[in-house]
Amino acid sequence: MKHIDDYLEPERINAMLGAAKSCSSRDYLILRVLWRSGIRVSELVNIRLKDIEWDNCVVNILKAKGGKQRRVLLDSETISMLSRYVSDTELGGMKTVCFPLQGGTCGIWSKNMAKWSVLMRIPTRCGTATRSI
């Protein structure tokens, strides 16, 4: 029988989002996009501004698992938050990734860095960690 991974209950997700929001609006938005869309971290870190269909609330994932492409929906509130984030951070052109490394000029994360930066650091730093992700 195939092993089914553990998942977070809605209360834990809300606690994690609340903690992330109090620590960093960027990290909150990253977690919210992951949660609301179901995309993988490796997909998130490759989203470029040109991949987002703002009017349709769609994100085109061009580097999905297995080298495939797919489209995912985001709720309108998350799209609005993403739009404000892009405006506030004054990201570069349409080829710029949405969540570049902080403090660096490189626009591409490694999967391990992204996982550590967001999925492990936030719950630990903000006191909502129960186990390693």
Closest CA to 37 of 49, 29, 27: 29
- What HEC string does the chain produce? CCCCCCCCCHHHHHHHHHHHHHHCHHHHHHHHHHHHHCCCHHHHCCCEHHHEECCCCEEEECCCHHHCCEEEECCHHHHHHHHHHHHHHCCCCCCCECCCCCCCCCCCCCHHHHHHHHHHHHHHHCCCCCCCC
* 37: its two tokens: 């869309």
Whether 43 maps to a domain, the answer reads yes
| pLDDT score recorded for residue 94 | 67
Whether 102 maps to a domain, the answer reads yes
pLDDT band at 69 (very low <50, low <70, confident <90, very high): very high
| pLDDT tens digits for range 48-60 | 999 999 999 999 9
| pLDDT score recorded for residue 25 | 85
| pLDDT score recorded for residue 63 | 83
Whether 69 maps to a domain, the answer reads yes
Whether 109 maps to a domain, the answer reads yes
pLDDT band at 126 (very low <50, low <70, confident <90, very high): low
More confident residue, 65 or 117: 65
| pLDDT tens digits for range 70-123 | 999 999 999 999 999 988 887 767 678 888 765 443 334 454 555 555 555 565
CATH number of residue 78's parent domain: 1.10.443.10
Closest CA to 67 of 42, 33, 41, 49: 42
Whether 132 maps to a domain, the answer reads no
* Mean pLDDT of all residues in 40-67: 90
Global pTM?
0.73
Whether 6 maps to a domain, the answer reads no
Report yes or no: 35 and 130 within 8 Å, Cβ to Cβ: no
Domain range enclosing 66: 38-123
Q: How many domains does the chain have?
A: 1
> Tokens 């996009």 sit at which residue?
33
